[in-house]
Structure 1
């Protein structure tokens, strides 16, 4: 078997068709992205975002190659065979698994983003509350607090 013809690993490898060229490359990249996102998702679930950040460069490289390969396949559709060819059905199956992994990954990232934004908002509100200037005292000896509060901004410089 040559490099152009690849029998790709998967759970039902004996049922996988013989893939060549860009079709083989697309499936290989899909498997690689799927594995990488699965690892990253597990690290995020186990509250280790810094370790998950190590995959950023590789993920970008794989996504770029995936996009290029997909564009080449869209131009050269004959590589995929007919509408119900084995190659197309196999790519649909692999892509379906990948989409599930993407959905799972997106859920955990959005959940963590929501938690982080909530923490930042709470800290910002507390900082604003503590730095409110007192503008004299009212008739009941209570401090006069301005009606409009000066905003306090916080930012994070880390990207996951």
Structure 2
């Protein structure tokens, strides 16, 4: 069944949906203004010529760690009132522990380096007028859809 924002069956009010949209737009603005969506900054990072991106990524990791700690310590809930549960990572049962993480990270990093853009700010780049990123966004969505289609047949 298709639930729309504000529909009582979806569990999320229209006000919450609007708030999340505004927060997403503000986050996109921060990404653009901090230059983390800049191809030049990304190339500098992969060539180890500048600390800028490493500083941004490091502060993001620290912020996320603090956020997860706060969620767990304070027992926070979703907008619809459900408790937030963060499941521990499963290392998998392959011959190489954690292979799914380092292999996925390698593919992600190679794609990031080749494209010059992380999938996260693709929409911000489109909003900033970099229309060629539409190709990257479509490719990212196609890859996600393909994985969802093939997930049951892939080794995990």
* TM-score under structure 2 length normalisation: 0.27
Q: Which has the larger radius of gyration?
A: 1
